[in-house]
Amino acid sequence: MGRKNKLAKFADVLSFPNVYECYNVQDPTLVGVDMEPVDLKGRWAETHFKNNNPITLELACGGGEYTVGLARRFPERNFIGVDVKGNRLWNGAQDALSNGLHNAAFLRTRIEIIELFFAPGEISEIWITFPDPFPRYSKENRRLTSPLFLEKYRRLLQPGGLVHLKHDDGDFYQYTLNTLAADPRCSIFYQNDDIYAGELPMPELEMKTKYEMKHLANGKTIKYVRFGVGA
């Protein structure tokens, strides 16, 4: 993608009513349309979505295909895609606006500071779809299923809230299983190292991102684990 195209998308995103952002971790102020500061922590359903429906986060959402797909499939729920790259979010945000999906929103920020923008227990479910596996040991804490992030999810999720991981990387998948097994507060409810080898256990898994389609075309198997992080 050319630099001009990226810059144009960045400018567009600033005018989208379904996109909020805070990229600067040194100044963690959330802004909405035209860079106006907003405070949505604990009030996403009431203030943005204008309802009391449960909220699901998609972390490292990329182009937002899964966020939009979930919003289309489940109109009685709210969905927020989170990613650090605004030009990627443009695709999902534009798609949601064009199709009148008022239950889909997007947050551009670093996931490391996600707790600044959501109150404890504000989230009902979290989806993690094909994040960077950060294979180098020195970057373990950047993996979205590391103990560091599990603690964040534990605070964000309401009691009984679920986390879903969908990935193609066998090492990252096994790392996740090992990390969950090492934490007595975590519970694995379902795991499958090749979800398309048989009948899918839930309709949410039918959707495929652009990256997933590439992985499948390259002969990779898609893994999935559903788990809880406890209190």
Residues annotated catalytic, as ranges: 132
For 194, the token pair is 């090749």
The kind and range of the H/E element at 157 are strand 157-167
Nearest to 134 by CA among 146, 151, 150: 146
Compute the Cα dihedral for 44, 209, 126, 161 and give only its sign: positive
Q: Are strands 78-83 and 223-228 parallel, antiparallel or unpaired?
A: unpaired
Find where tokens 């945000």 sit: 93
Q: At what angle do helices 65-73 and 86-98 cross, to 10 degrees?
A: 20
Residue type, 123: I
Contact 20, 38 (CB under 8 A): yes
Nearest to 165 by CA among 102, 225, 228: 225
For 133, the token pair is 């596996």
The kind and range of the H/E element at 150 are helix 147-156
